[in-house]
Amino acid sequence: MYTSEQVNQLQDLTKKLLNNAVADFSEQMIAGLKEVLRFHEYRYYVLSEPVIADFEYDQLYLLLVKIEKAHPEWVTLDSPTQRVGNSLNQSFTTVAHLVPMLSLDNSYNAADLTDFDRKAKELSGMETLEYCVEPKFDGASISLIYENDLLVRATTRGDGVAGEDITQNVKQIRSIPLSAPFSAKGIQQIEIRGEIILSKKSFDNYNNKLIQQGLPPLANPRNAASGSLRMKDPKEVAARNLDAFLYHVSYYNLIGNNLGELGTHAGSLDLLWEMGFRSPKEEKVVVKGIEGVISYCINFEEKRDELPYEIDGMVVKVNALSLQEKLGMTSHHPRWAIAYKFKARQATTTLNSIEFQVGRTGAVTPVAKLTPVYLGGVTVSSISVHNEEYIRQKDLKIGDTVLIERAGDVIPQIVQAMPALRTGIEKNIEFPITCPVCGSTLFKEEEEAVWRCINIECEAQVVERIIHFVSKDAMDIKSFGEANVRKFYEMGWLKDIPGIYHLPFPQIAVLEGFGKKSVDNLTAAIEASKQQPLYRLIYALGIRFVGETTAKTLANAVHHLLDFTQKTAEDLLQLEDVGVKVAKSIQGFFRNPQNIEMLKQLEQIGLQLVNTKKETVEGGSLSGQSFLFTGTLTKFKRSEAEAKVEAQGGIILGGVSSKLNYLVVGEDAGSKLEKAKKINTIKIISEDAFLDLIG
Ligand code: IVH
């Protein structure tokens, strides 16, 4: 990026500026100061090799701020001061990518790669292919557009065709230059792809902060990175220390001659590096033939943990762009590239004890308590071991050394015990016959694997039920949360669900950690929850097997919630998604006098037990039409989309069947889409088409 002569000049100027040896500031001098700041940002953020102290950088930066204040007419769009955003992001507008952002096909072993190579050779007519291999960064993908050397737009991947404009937030990432000298190469406009990542260190720092604030830590650097990009406050984005690797030029328009570097993928990585971007220039390798690719991938996997950031595999790309063009793409991925996914990470540790936890429905889940061990970005200290059967199958004993593994961001699992390491002091795991919380006898149904506490007044169940009731997808009582439920329960103020509406607020206001404002917020949120629609209440009751979709079906099937006390199993079986198991559970709930008493109390308190919505939507524009959403929706939340359908009289189904009219397909749709394709009458539509439909 900088020649040694330039480096010397910039260092000289740095010294002069720091020693106050520059007396007069002209517009030209200011340009030099900006150049100096950019150079030091590059040294620090791209090369990780700073050549001045942080304090010195700050001094130079403040100098620029001062001069720009006196001469606002000298402020340029790419001035280092222009990263700082003062205004909040109100919303993120959707913008189309210049070229669709595709995903990659996956491979997991040498055989998969050999297969990929065979097909690519066949299609390209080549005897051997040259590949460029580079790390697969585990972050959030972005697309950047530079026009006339200036960064004009940054977008999320979105549905691949269009994404959200996150320019202001991306400007907070110091390794992304606000301007780059593309015009020197004759490039007027260029679209670049890459990955926003969070280093392992920044991820830990951020999580430590969350923990200190009593908030739950984020699962992995990828979630942290993608969450950061959509934050309202750009200053908060800056505080997270995001980083970026740029690895693909998806479009450019050239004035003048052809550009040699852009003839190969490796050349484009070098060009990006030369333009001041952090591209995987050093991490990549160019090899002829798939054998070399395979060994590079395998060797790199061994070095994975030494890297300061997370990667989840390698990406293998046909190097010549002319061949890439020849190979083309499917609707989902290019035929000239493939991801090689690393194996799940494994570690060994000791199983110290088993804790039996009682859930909302009384299910008793054994949780293995382990000596904490670091495993692919997180420290693991407990793992669910599901049920008795599972423990027997894996032959787990207390005191065992166990092999654990974690694939991607999947929940860790115990792979196996290591009986060869037993010393004889290991103990069998005894499953309790009584509830570890309330002491009542546990039951197990014949066809089930779990033991259950059937005492619905069991403390553990009561607390879990209340936690579920207030949760986001249920009654959505903001600022209540799990910790408050537990606290109020311990204080004896909250014994059951109706108790939420009779909390002693004056006493809460004087609790440590509570102030007037938080109590006011809580009171308002509890009050607002009384207006939640019936389907939310049904879901919030936590009836076994009744998820959000079934709750909606149930709400639409009655006028008043207590009408369910009159419904026979046959009536219930008529409903969409309701099978024998679900019907039995619903009947069980409405036959229990304690539950009926609770519902009557809730009605008195002012909650909505009447289905008010049902009448209003009849005759809506979608009336009689059924919908199902699949894949990751990028333009709206699933719950919002479903609410829109229902507001216009449509219904939401729980699965693909011939009763379905529309399947709305988001990103990475899987089996539902495949199933729907086989039924001719189902209209398969994109998110955009859905938006058109609902107007
Ligand atoms: S190339 C058409 N290269 O992995 C080019 N992708 O699972 C497609 N990713 O959506 C992308 N590191 O977000 C490419 N070195 C790399 C990558 C990379 C990470 C991400 C990217 C993509 C996803 C596919």
pLDDT for 220: 72
User: Ligand 1 mean position to 156 CA, how many Å?
Assistant: 13
Element of type H or E holding 248 = strand 243-254
Binding site membership of 315 for ligand 1 (Cβ less than 6 Å): yes
What pLDDT, on the 0 to 100 scale, is given for residue 48?
A: 84
Q: Which pLDDT value is given to residue 616?
A: 45
**248 within ligand 1 shell (Cβ under 6 A):** yes
Tell me if 348 sits within 8 A of 403, measured CB to CB.
yes
Ligand 1 closest atom vs CA 134: 15
Report the distance separating Cα 153 and Cα 171, nearest Å: 10
pTM over 0.85: no
247 lines ligand 1 (CB under 6 A): yes
Output the CA torsion sign for 387, 392, 393, 397: positive
Cβ of 141 below 6 Å from ligand 1:
yes
Pocket of ligand 1 contains residue 102 by CB under 6 Å: yes
pLDDT at res. 122: 95
pLDDT of residue 217: 67
Nearest CA to ligand 1 atom 17: 136
How far apart CA 661 and CA 682 sit, in angstroms, is 5
Per the residue annotation, which of 136, 171, 317, 552 is the catalytic one? 136
* 332 CA distance to ligand 1 middle (Å): 12
Is the beta carbon of 192 within 6 A of some atom in ligand 1?
no
Write 44-49 long-range contacts (CB < 8 A, 24+): 44/174, 45/174, 45/175, 45/243, 45/278, 46/1, 46/175, 46/276, 46/277, 46/278
Q: What is the pLDDT of residue 212?
A: 75
Q: Which of 103, 285, 315 to mutate to test the pocket of ligand 1 (most atoms within 8 A of CB)?
A: 315
| DSSP 8-class letter at 452 | E
Atom of ligand 1 nearest to the CA of 136: 12
The per-residue pLDDT for 400 is: 97
Q: Please list, in sequence order, all residues whose beta carbon lies within 8 angstroms of the beta carbon of residue 19, skipping any fewer than 6 positions away.
A: none
Indicate if ligand 1 lies below 6 Å from the C-beta of 226: no
Length of the chain: 695
Distance (angstroms) between ligand 1 centre and the Cα of 335 equals: 13
Low-confidence ranges of the chain (pLDDT < 70): 85-86, 214-217, 219, 258-259, 377, 407-410, 613-618
Q: How many of the other CB atoms lie within 10 Å of CB of 570?
A: 8
Cα–Cα–Cα angle for 107, 192, 89, rounded to 5 degrees: 110
Q: Which amino acid is at 532?
A: Q
Residue 284, ligand 1, Cβ within 6 A: no
| Ligand 1 atom with the shortest distance to the CA of 329 | 2
Distance between Cα 193 and ligand 1 center (Å): 8
Interval between CA 103 and ligand 1 midpoint (Å): 7
Burial state string for 63-85 with b = 16 or more CB within 10 A and e = fewer than 16: bbeebbeeeeebeeebbbbebeb
Residue 78 CA to residue 273 CA, distance in Å, equals: 19
105 C-alpha to center of ligand 1: Å? 10
Nearest ligand 1 atom, CA 140: 13
136 belongs to the catalytic site: yes
Ligand 1 pocket residue status of 435, Cβ below 6 Å: no
Distance 102 CA to ligand 1 centre (A): 8
